[in-house]
Amino acid sequence: DQQVKQNSPSLSVQEGRISILNCDYTNSMFDYFLWYKKYPAEGPTFLISISSIKDKNEDGRFTVFLNKSAKHLSLHIVPSQPGDSAVYFCAARGASSYKLIFGSGTRLLVRP
Amino acid sequence: DTGVSQDPRHKITKRGQNVTFRCDPISEHNRLYWYRQTLGQGPEFLTYFQNEAQLEKSRLLSDRFSAERPKGSFSTLEIQRTEQGDSAMYLCASSTGLAGVTDTQYFGPGTRLTVL
């Protein structure tokens, strides 16, 4: 039973445009959400996070939105750059555990 | 470089052999985590330590797997009698353990295990 789902395995956008990566979750007890970026042969790199008491968090070109009623979060990258091309994972953590539960990832390709 | 480090980066072994991986967390991080990632999937939680205490283990961590963090600093993950299904990327992460709800995990580069 996948508690965190990334339904789009891949996304292609033009350089300079907005990239929107989506993530859905099923467990209403999740209280902290994170996005990681992963290049081949490297470990995941932390990008941005949001706690369940907020609905938006922004850091430079990256913004994460959380819609608790829909159990949905999204990562917006504006403007997209070729160096953003990587696999993006969303992850969630429950209030009673420190383990992260990851989605299966979305491969982003930013075309020059 | 003061990030999480893992050794070795790659390991090829024959089925039935034992392997051991090492993880050095970010200095003064109290929590240390192990995850496993297979192709096309996100990382899956295996276990985590608060200082030297192993506080949670996934059911994925069969009897052939054991993890230690003897002095609350580096950690080792051992797999005994490896099977081909153990082939994966083994990731280590650490966090301060001081940030409450917003405690963020930082990952190392991983150890890629191939069991022939």
Q: What is the mean pLDDT of residues B31-58?
A: 94
Q: What is the pLDDT of residues B48-94, one digit of tens each?
A: 999 999 999 998 888 999 999 998 899 999 999 999 999 999 999 99
Give the per-residue pLDDT at B11.
Answer: 97
The percent of chain A in helix, strand and coil, each rounded to the nearest 5, is: 5, 55, 40
Q: What is the mean pLDDT of residues A93-100?
A: 84
Query: Two tokens at B69?
Result: 């963090």
Give the per-residue pLDDT at A15.
Answer: 97
Provide the greatest CA pair distance for chain A: 44
Q: What number of C-beta contacts closer than 8 Å exist between A and B?
A: 65
Q: Which residues in chain A are closer than 8 Å to B56, comparing Cβ atoms?
A: 97-99
Closest in A41, A42, A46 to B106, CB measured: A46
Distance between CA A103 and CA A75 in Å, rounded? 13
Pairing of strands A72-77, A19-25: antiparallel
